[in-house]
């Protein structure tokens, strides 16, 4: 069975500071993809970053980086230099390469404080 766990229902961060959003996953598939999405109050899910399970290096996309620790089955999202516009829900997701269904965590609500 596949499972994504996000243990932080809500997080606060000061503007311009860095913040880490936690994500752990459980899968028996040897190969899988990990994703982070941002959902502002408008509702649309915005793709942020992708990490393949066999990627040797941690993924980075601008101010977003994914701290991938395969042995611990964790895929934490790091947002550097937080901006007010980063306030949103953040979802971690996984797709096993043997399947075609995405599995989402319950999300973390991030609030950036001026």
Partner 1 sequence: KAGVTQTPRYLIKTRGQQVTLSCSPISGHRSVSWYQQTPGQGLQFLFEYFSETQRNKGNFPGRFSGRQFSNSRSEMNVSTLELGDSALYLCASSRSEETQYFGPGTRLLVL
Please report, as ranges, the residues that interact with partner 1 according to CB under 8 A.
33, 35, 37, 42-47, 50, 91, 95, 97, 99-104, 106-107
Q: Least separation, in Å, of the C-beta of 54 and partner 1?
A: 14
Q: Least separation, in Å, of the C-beta of 31 and partner 1?
A: 10
Residue closer to partner 1 (CB basis): 35 or 82: 35
Strand ranges (DSSP E) for the chain? 3-5, 10-14, 19-21, 24-26, 32-39, 46-52, 60-61, 64-69, 74-79, 88-96, 103-104, 108-113
Residue closer to partner 1 (CB basis): 67 or 97: 97
């Amino acid at each position: 069975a596949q499972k994504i766990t996000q243990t932080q229902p809500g997080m606060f961060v000061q503007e311009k500071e860095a913040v880490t959003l936690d994500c752990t996953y459980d899968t028996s598939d040897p190969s899988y993809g990990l994703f982070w999405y941002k959902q502002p109050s408008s509702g649309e899910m915005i793709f942020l970053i992708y990490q393949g399970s066999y990627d040797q290096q941690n993924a980075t996309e601008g101010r977003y980086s994914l701290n991938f620790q395969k042995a611990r089955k964790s895929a934490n999202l790091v947002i550097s230099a937080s901006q007010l516009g980063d306030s949103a829900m953040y979802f971690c997701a996984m797709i096993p390469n043997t399947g075609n269904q995405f599995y989402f965590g319950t999300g973390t609500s991030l609030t950036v404080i001026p």
